[in-house]
Chains A and B, each alone.
Chain A
Amino acid sequence: MFYALSVVNLEIDEIEISAEVKDISDSSGLSPWQLGMRRFRKGRLGVIALWVVLFYVLVAIFAPFIVRLLNVDPYALDRQAINDFGLPKGPLGSMSWNHPLGVEPGTGRDILGRLIYGTRLSLIIGTVGTVLSTTVGVCLGIVAGLRRGWVDSLISRIGDVALAFPSLLLIIALANPMTQRLESWGVPKGNTAKLTYILTILTIFGWVYMARLVRGQVLSLRERDFVEAARSFGAGTNHLVFKQLLPNLWPQIIIFVAMSLPGYVALEATLSFLGVGFQAPTASWGIMLGDSVRYYRADTAYLFIPGGALLILVLGFNLLADGLRDAFDPRSDRQQL
């Protein structure tokens, strides 16, 4: 008697414990997305980080409202809060009910108000920068993966070139002249042009990793049965991309976005610190930090407040990214020697 291979229920049994667990969970009939979210909710730190980040986002969105509610106008000068030498009168940068986080030396502008408005700039750069570079990366990655051939080569080579540049150096070096160039092209002068510049150059340097990741995924996905099957049914490229490929790429994209965000958020501050950031009267964390350095002996609170706000936000994003990665990339659930 000689039996052939099994047909239906018996599949390759994976040794990996986590894989078995995955199989078990798969049996619950949840999509990878739902599964990931379920796992994410179980990671306490990730959830806390999410709330922290959400808090910042809400603060940014409702900045004008919050500022009015708390009566902390970021642009109003308060001569009474500073002494004749321009330094905050009270301790800790003149913290008081009127100015919960103290005032800016020199002008007496409210630090809390400026902090709240500064959240906007940092988050705009962080989110828009990430969304742009991710979108471009995903699109180019899909195109490269689907088209292959010379299109793929071209995109990959352009990526090589982009990665060969020292990005931070170029961002700094081109900041002023490129901003002027944008202004000469009709982009509104000042911070709009600067923002446009920063977002553009972040995209130029930021898309490559995402594109490579997506291209790899697409190449391996297209070998998989369901894509082949869809093809054999005559599915169009659109259907393929939006119904078949993208849903499978979501976890990767989410993780990538979460990991890129913190770096971009901190960038605004770094640029302003190096003197190529935004311009007054915009309230920005970077401007505050750059300014605070001049006062860090007499008004240490002024350095720590925007620095702390920045650190907490970046930390929040990083923990969120960790949480998402652990949730969507179960390989991180591993064994121990």
Chain B
Amino acid sequence: MFYFIARRSFFAVILLFVVSIFTFWIFSALPADPAALTCGKNCRPEVIEANRIRLGYDKPFIEQYGSYMKGIFVGRTYGEDESGVHCAAPSLGYSYDRHECVSSLVAKTLPVTASIAFGAFVLWMVFGIALGTLAALRRGKWPDHFATVFSVIGISFPSFFLGLLSVLFFVIWTKILPFPNYVGITENPFEWFTALILPWSVLALLSASTYIRLTRNGILEVMNEEFVRLGIAKGLPRKKLIVKYVLRAALTPIATIAGIDLAFLLGGAIVTESVFNLPGLGKLTIAAVVNSDLPILVATTLISALFIVVANAFVDIMYGFLDPRVRTK
């Protein structure tokens, strides 16, 4: 098991390395000149040049990558004279558009995204698995039909459209909810909750649709397994059979998929954050796209990739703990 974890972790590190080099390369090869964007209306080529040097964009790509990586571990100062700005480790670059270290921008936005992601995650897992299980156990009856219709419609809804409709309905027409105005959970837990309930629900409804299907199909598949038939033939009570035999086997793979979905969401719920005006990583990204703020884009891409790679490794390792077949091989 130790060997397995070590190997998996090593693979994750290698993958991260490749992903980071690739990300860096693609953004540095773009025609977008990050230095040109640091300049106002009364811009002169000299100013662009000066800023290019200041931000290190004059260096060859590998050197830029090197200093970026070094910056992550020891911090980095942008500019050499006194007007230079120091970003402490982990430095993820400097946004000339926002005049801030990207790391501090990320530190501000990540908790928001995490609030959205974890809340939605809990909701959709509970709802999706409950409805999926119900549908599988009542196959062909109305809960199953309901789940099927619900999930196919849910999957078909483009998230921004559902988000817009929910705002239109709950906020503007019926005024049941206030317009989402995010505050930190430590500041005002109630407002935090009311601001997030709509985005959570929208995200959860969409993802739950997938999990309803996964759960339903997983359970039906497991029900067809010989060991479940043997369980019945043994005379296992229904409840025990469902929990110990069916759910245990059906939900183990779903848990792993869920881990990766959560990681994707942690990298920024781009559409949801845009629709509901939540100042998270996704909205940071969109703002950076609009302003062509490359340092932020590089950082958010890397962070998202980090989440995905780590989640993949974590899930693989967890699978080892959850499934004895993997563990003892």
- Taking beta carbons and an 8 Å cutoff, which residues of A are in contact with B? 15-16, 160-161, 163-166, 168-170, 172-178, 180-181, 184, 262, 266, 269-270, 273-276, 289, 293, 296-297, 300, 303, 307, 310-311, 314-315, 317-319, 322, 331-332, 334-337
Given A165-B19, A318-B155, the answer on whether A274 and B286 have CB atoms closer than 8 Å is: yes
B311: min CB distance to chain A, Å: 10
Q: Are A336 and B140 in contact (CB under 8 A)?
A: yes
Q: Which residue of A lies closest to B219 (CB)?
A: A337
Q: Out of A165, A176, A317, A318, which one reaches B292, CB within 8 Å?
A: A176
Known: A161-B19, A169-B268, A335-B224. A274 touches B274 (CB 8 A): yes
Q: Is the CB of B267 within 8 A of A166?
A: yes
Q: With an 8 A cutoff between CB atoms, is B102 at the interface? A: no
Contacts of B288 in A (CB 8 A): 173
- How long is the Cα–Cα vector from A337 to B160 in the complex, in angstroms? 38
What are 21 A-to-B residue pairs whose CB atoms are below 8 Å?
A164-B309, A165-B305, A169-B270, A169-B300, A169-B301, A172-B270, A173-B301, A176-B292, A178-B30, A262-B156, A269-B161, A273-B160, A273-B271, A274-B271, A274-B289, A275-B289, A307-B164, A311-B158, A317-B156, A337-B137, A337-B238
Given known A270-B159, A274-B274, A318-B155, contact A170–B301 (CB-CB < 8 A):
yes
Whether A315 touches B31, Cβ cut-off 8 Å, given contacts A172-B285, A276-B289, is: no
Q: What residues of B have a CB within 8 angstroms of the CB of A318 in the complex?
A: 152, 155-156
Chain A nearest CB, measured from B251 CB (Å)? 15
B residues 227-265 touching A (CB-CB < 8 Å): 228-229, 238, 241-242, 246, 264
Query: Nearest B residue to A262 by beta-carbon distance?
Result: B156
Instruction: Give which listed residue, A172, A175, A266, A336, contacts B139 with CB less than 8 A.
Output: A336
Q: A315-B153, A335-B223 are in contact. Are A164 and B289 (CB under 8 A)?
A: no
Q: What B residues does A165 contact at CB under 8 A?
A: 19, 23, 301, 304-305, 308
Name the residue on B nearest A285 (C-beta): B158
Residues of A within 8 A of B309 (CB): 164
Residues B15 and A164 in contact, CB atoms below 8 Å apart: yes
Instruction: Give the docked Cα–Cα distance between A262 and B297 (Å).
Output: 28
Query: Any chain A CB within 8 A of the CB of B221?
Result: yes
Q: How far is the CB of A12 from chain B (nearest CB, A)?
A: 14
Shortest distance in angstroms between B33's beta carbon and chain A's nearest beta carbon? 10
Instruction: Out of A172, A181, A310, name the residue touching B161 (CB < 8 Å).
Output: A310
- Chain A, Cβ-Cβ closest to B152: A318
Q: Are B30 and A161 in contact (CB under 8 A)?
A: no
Q: Is the CB of A166 within 8 A of B217?
A: no
State in angstroms the CA–CA spacing of A214 and B311 once bound together.
25
Among residues of B, the one whose C-beta sits closest to the C-beta of A319 is B152
10 extra A-B contacts, CB within 8 A, seeds A180-B32, A314-B158, A334-B224: A169-B267, A169-B285, A177-B30, A181-B30, A269-B160, A270-B158, A275-B286, A293-B164, A317-B156, A337-B242
Say yes or no: A296-B168 contact (C-beta < 8 A), given A161-B19, A164-B15, A334-B224. yes
Docked CA distance A331–B221 (Å): 8
B172 within 8 A of A: yes
* Interface pair A175/B289, CB less than 8 Å apart: yes
Chain B residues with Cβ under 8 A from A172's Cβ?
A: 270, 285-286, 289
Contacts A262-B155, A274-B286, A310-B161 known; A168 to B223 CB distance under 8 Å? no
Cβ contacts under 8 Å, B264 to chain A: 166
Of the candidates B31, B165, B220, the one whose C-beta lies within 8 Å of that of A184 is: B31
A160 to B12, CA, bound (A): 10
Chain B: minimal CB distance from A117 (Å): 19
Q: Does residue B26 face the partner (Cβ distance < 8 Å to A)?
A: yes
Q: How far is the CA of A268 from the CA of B229 in the complex (A)?
A: 47
B176 within 8 A of A: no
Minimal beta-carbon separation of B205 from chain A (angstroms) = 14
- Nearest A residue to B141 via CB reads A336
Contact A164 B305 (CB under 8 A): yes
A154 to chain B, nearest CB (A): 13
Q: Smallest distance from the beta carbon of B169 to chain A beta carbons, Å?
A: 11
Which residue of chain A has the shortest Cβ distance to B268 in the bound complex? A169
> Is B18 close to A, CB under 8 A?
yes
Contacts A176-B289, A310-B158 given: A166-B304 contact, CB under 8 Å? yes
- Asked if B223 and A337 sit within 8 Å, CB to CB, the answer is yes
Partner of B157, one of A160, A300, A303, A311: A311
Within 8 A of A (CB), among B101-145: 137, 139-140
What's the Cα separation between A335 and B155 when bound, in Å? 25
- Is the pair B31, A177 in contact by a Cβ cutoff of 8 Å? yes
Known: A164-B15, A165-B301, A166-B268. A173 touches B158 (CB 8 A): no
Within 8 A of A (CB), among B25-75: 26, 30-32
Q: How far is the CB of B296 from chain A (nearest CB, A)?
A: 9
Assembled-state Cα–Cα distance A317/B26 (Å): 34
Given known contacts A274-B271, A297-B172, A332 and B217 CB-to-CB distance under 8 angstroms: yes
Contact check: which of B139, B156, B165, B301 meets A334 at CB < 8 Å? B139
Does B312 sit at the interface, judged by CB under 8 A? yes
B22 interface residue (CB < 8 Å to A): yes
Interface centre among B160, B292, B300 (most CB of A within 10 A): B160
Contact A173 B161 (CB under 8 A): no
- How far does the Cβ of B41 sit from chain A's closest Cβ, in whole Å? 20
Report yes or no: B271 in contact with A337, Cβ–Cβ below 8 A.
Answer: no
Known: A164-B312, A176-B289. A337 touches B164 (CB 8 A): no
